[in-house]
Structure 1
Amino acid sequence: MTLGKRAFFLIFPVVLTGYLLAALSVYIAQSHSMLSLERARLSQQLDHIAALFRNDVNQSRSFLYSLLEGNAVRLFVSETDEDYRNNALGLRLQQSIRSLSDDPKKFISFAILNPDLTPGYYFENSDDPFAEIGEAQFALGRRLTGGSQLRDWTYLHEGQTRPLIVYSEFIDPVTFGRPLPSAKKSALLVQVALEPTQFLSMQRQLQDEYQTVIDFDTVPRPSLPNELSASVRLAPSLFAALAVPPSHDAGNVERLKLLLGLGALAMSLVSVGLMIVLIRRFITNPIAALDRQVTAVMTGKNEGITEIDAAGEIGRLTGNIKQLHDQSQRALHLVQHASWTDTLTGISNRGHFNTLAAKVVHKVTTQGGHGSLLFIDIDNFKFVNDKYGHEVGDELLKVLALRIERVVGEIIARRSLPPVVFARLSGDEFAVLVQSASGDGTIREMCACILGLFSDGFEVHGKHYPVTASIGVAICPMDATNLAELISNADAAMYQAKTNGKNRSSRFSRALQDKRDRIRHIQEELRLVDPDEQFHLVYMPIIDARGKVTGCEALLRWVSPTLGNITPDEFVPIAESTGQFTKIDWWVINRAMSEHQHLKALFGPETVLAINISSAELHSKSIGDYFSDCLDRHGLDARTIEIELTETYAVKLGDQLHRNIENLREKGFRISIDDFGAGYTSVQQIIEYTADTIKLDRALVQNLANQETLPALKAMVSLCHARKMAVVGEGIDTHEKLALLIAAGCDHFQGYLISKPLALPDLSIWALKQAAEIAGGDEDRAFVSGGRRRAGSSSLL
């Protein structure tokens, strides 16, 4: 037997025994490690689910405090008019609740319980329009009322349709603060309940993975030494525990046995022949080199791992670690790039813009310099989306982003300025933040170049689309010293550009700030206004072709002791946006009907009273009931009341609005479409309108009241007549317009040529003058009294 064979037979059993013992030790240690790792993994997942649960608890608390800090709840609770509170303030409270919810599909409810635990208000974000507060929440309210706590949260999950986290707090109905314990019985109980969707999703995931259920208890569950289980505290008196059944495979122990046995045998065979040479050359040295490289990467000294010239497991391990490191770096860069990039256009998104822009604003405010923000909004983009489809709209945005980036980049490169921050903020809104010296012409040139992209319509793939751009410019630090204020001011300037005609730029100015301040002051005055003291009505006569007054339109006027005269064009949109229109409209309806008898005494019993109401009122069925109540109160005939709605209501004419209008018509009220032709008119809409009267807007009259367009005007009037609708021409300020409208077949006329809006005493004087001039035989003069006459004219026709 050779020495080699002898050495083999002597060393191999020893080496094999050693490897087998080592493998057994590894198996014992590894099995315990696997159990520990699986237990740690389970604990980590329970910690995660607990974090999700606590996040939902904090969210319910923050949601409740946000509502209580706002005015919506205070106004709702303090309002004594039940109809107004339930309709207007209830709607506003719903809007506040929806605006605070990050996820519109997530279930969340808000309840106000009176001291006797009767529901004062309840709203939930669900598809059930008849939803009511659950019995479990009532039971919780009774428990809290009988206890000493002023606020509490509870997880309701047993016997519930859906598990809910309920945050409850007692508030004083007068101070809206926390009541004294002695006053708890008279306090309101407000509750916010939300469904912890992420918590429940992960709960189901864990239960499916481990084929068991998560138990909830008031004490933690003890864990046995060889049991795979864990528990976590969700709250001071609520614990979640999960115990994995013994049948669950925690680590594939049988496979571990096989691998360790085969590994021990293989390593024994290799080690006998190469123990001395290979351990040093192919194991010790390569591992040491790899360890040095990994340590250098972890400490930041190197950015990558270099493959070493080694064979076998060590060489593959080095290559795999290098590949894994490279893949991790690429994935990190991709994730970072995706989180900062708008997926449609490829430029920065709002989050990235906020980060970069905040640094620029901080730099210019602390170190000096100027930063100019261009807030760009695409005019008529919704039209392109609706008419040509979202694919065309998306392509337009992508092309626009590339072209803006190109023209801005050329200006920046030519002027050697710092790189701009260019981003798509949302939808069709873009922002460009430029660092340039004040007054150097950079911003003016940049706005001109961007607007120049829309000079002949915006061209995409050879087709032109009717879109333009409105640009608002605000400069830091002159206009703002922080990013939020800078964006807000640039946005205000952009809306000013839209107001001035679109396809232009507008610089934020003190006038814009004053306008915003005035809007805020009007909002404050509207909340406190007493209509009987500050509102009054004026009336504008409506005549037929013979000059007879057939009706009067009631127009609202507001004289504020602090702000002076405020026109309806100014305060009505503000009232609609803040939910104050109901109080104003109802006052106008009641006051106009109370003065209708005076109008009848002046112009005859068939005189029609036209009352303007906000289109937003049509969403509420209570407006019809209020009209009927006022009609009975003042003893009027519904056929002499004409309800004027703006023409734009028909653009959003849904089923509920249609039913409300038909209900008014069934009660005998006349319906008039005011400001027809103000911007939304189409032949299809004329055919579909449900109305008794069409009032042509003064802008439409101005455009069509000439000889060239008379045939078109006649056709429009004929179409209205075919629909059995009377036609009223507004804005009659010249004899020429009057003559052309009469020639076109209009039925009634209104304008300053006839009379300006007059208060009742002045209207009485005007009516007496009309009657006197008609009695004196001067019908022509009576026809236009209060207006301007053409010199030498003897006939209106």
Structure 2
Amino acid sequence: MRLSRRVRVLILPVLVLSYLITFIGIYQVQKKSLIDFISSQAKLQLNQLVDSMNRYLSFADTYFPSLVRSAEIRQYLNVEDKRFKALAVEGNLETAIQDLDEIDFQYISLAIFFPDNSIEFYYENSGDPFSTIDPDIPIIVKKMREEQIISNRYLLSKNNKTRLLYIRFIDRYTQRKPLMKEWEQSIAVVMAFDATDFDELRKTLKEEQNSNTLVFGIDSEKKVTTDSLISVAYDIPNLGNIVLNVSDEKISGQLRELEKRMLLSFLILTLCSYVMLIFLIKRYITSPIEVLEKDLTNVLEGNKDKPNAYDSQDEVGSLSRAFVRVYEQLHKVYEVTKEMAERDALTKLYNRRTFTQCLERVIDRAHRKVKKVALLYIDLDNFKFVNDKFGHEAGDILLKTFAERLQLSVRTTDIVINVNDHDLARLAGDEFAVLLHDFDKEAVLYKVAERILKLFEGGFDCEAGYFPVSASIGIAVYPDDGSKPTELISNADTAMYQAKHAGKNQYAFYSQELAVQARRDKEIETELKKRDFTEFEVFYMPIYNAKKIKISGVEALLRWQSSVLGFVSPADFIPIAESRGYFETIDFWVIGQVIKDIPQLQALYGTDLKIAINISSAHLSSTHFIDKLSTVFSESKVDISIIQLEITETFEISDIGKVEKNLALLKNIGVSLAIDDFGAGYTSLVQLLNYPIDTIKVDKTLVDMMVDNRRCAMVISLIKYLKHQGFKVTVEGIEHKVQAEQLIAAGCDDLQGYLYCKPMPLSYHTQMAKASSS
């Protein structure tokens, strides 16, 4: 997920959660404030109502006691003229009412009850001559008389009207509190009036609060209880209480309104904050980073040379400058690494991997344009000799010098051909390649090859010295000799080996004959990998004593009858086995088979029979083979002295000191040693004197020279020289009796060749022995 999207995804939940917690807190505070406000408002309204009620109560509490003791009441009770007495009482009451400016009495009444609870006097200011007393009043008076309650006040509420009732029992004559013994004769004075202003105020408050929002309760006997969220009450002594209830619906409505405003504020603030933060983050963080990323992408894709360094002093600017520094350092490392990955460290030519990639591109282009491409595969002859004798430093100088001269020789202006840096490569140690394209005539290939060979005319001279080094060049052409890079390289390599086998210091073109041979070699290699030793068999070729013409030994020779390839000559498969690393396994199989056959061979030819076994000269490069061979011989319990190990004389010596040491180790095992194919390889006569060798086997090529008298004398002299140095001499490849006679006369010890016997399996030797004995 990109940073810009991640910011959008992460910031919104954080904002929502943060503001949600904040607004929940604010809502709780606002909710409490709203409830407190409504409660305070209710208390204020209640105070107004209570104040209105208190004015009525204050009037009644002051006027009623004075009225009860007034002369008018006394006269009414003592004077017989009831009409006059009533007018006096009414006048007194009206005078008192008129003196009150701040209280409106729409209804006020006065009544006097005799002991029998009959109404002696009743007056009200309604102006209705037929008005009657409130029916509840006689009931209350009677109850008070029965309970002997001297004085009390009551509140009656009917039809949304509040009526206050003051009652006092007095003695008829003294107008004071009656004695208990005179209680039955007491008179009750009752004053009732409506709290008109109180009711008006209550009605007004209800209208202001939308009708039933306010609920009032007045009870003279007990307090009114309520389940309302907000409820305020005021206690009126000896009367009851006034309760003001705020409707829960009103509170819920205001809370819902508060919630809506809070939710709207929450959404607006969250959205504004989100948009602002996204804008700021994009403006100052993600956009600069995206620009920096795009800049780096252009650099990586090759659209720019290097990233820009921003002048801003913020983190992005610092990051861009750091990227520039890192890029410059990495670019330097990249250039070095790229050169190391693409080029050979020593010669600075392109390596095999880069050359193969280049070859792919060139072949693709040649395919589109219907052109030819030629690959010259170059191998330096005798380069190993330079490394071994003069050291690797000299070899490196030689390779480096050759690479420089190779570049100059193929870029000479008289060759009408394009050769770029990537068209030259060092494929392996002393193997090079030149890629030629955009040519019209194959004569150019001859000219380039001859120019390369000319670099080695008379050897190769460089700063490290003069060396007998030449070059073998194989040439393969696309599309005739291959359509793929690997195929073209393989075929050019095959042609190069053909040039080597033809005598080195020359070039060879890939041909179908080479293809057949290469395919044959590949098939041999494939079958050798199977290690199917059931197809192998050891043949034994007799060796005859030159004086007695009697079998003195046998040479074990490996033969291969492949189920796939048919008979495969040792000359074909042994070089492949040695080059591919299969020789050790094969050699030990042969040694193991010979050890099994020794008892039967000794039974045929005697216990003093010498048994020769060929081993690969590559074994002389390490002691691993010698240690393993010693173990095999010690486990076999055979007489080691009858074993003779033959080492091909054609092996190239990489380290003379190591060869001498390992030959000595082999000698210490108890076997005898022989140099095979002497005269066809590299061993000098001086080296023979330093080697712990017992027998020299002269190669057939020298024997074939004996048809010439001069060369025959040379061979005979060589044999005599070897004998004089103390070597036993065995001559191979004898096919004619004259050759045998000359060699016997020269003093050789043993003879071997088709003149006497061909290599045969052990079964034939057994049959031959039985036939001779019969």
Give the TM-score, by structure 1 length: 0.48
Could you state the TM-score of these two structures normalised by the residue count of structure 2?
A: 0.50
Higher-Rg structure is 2
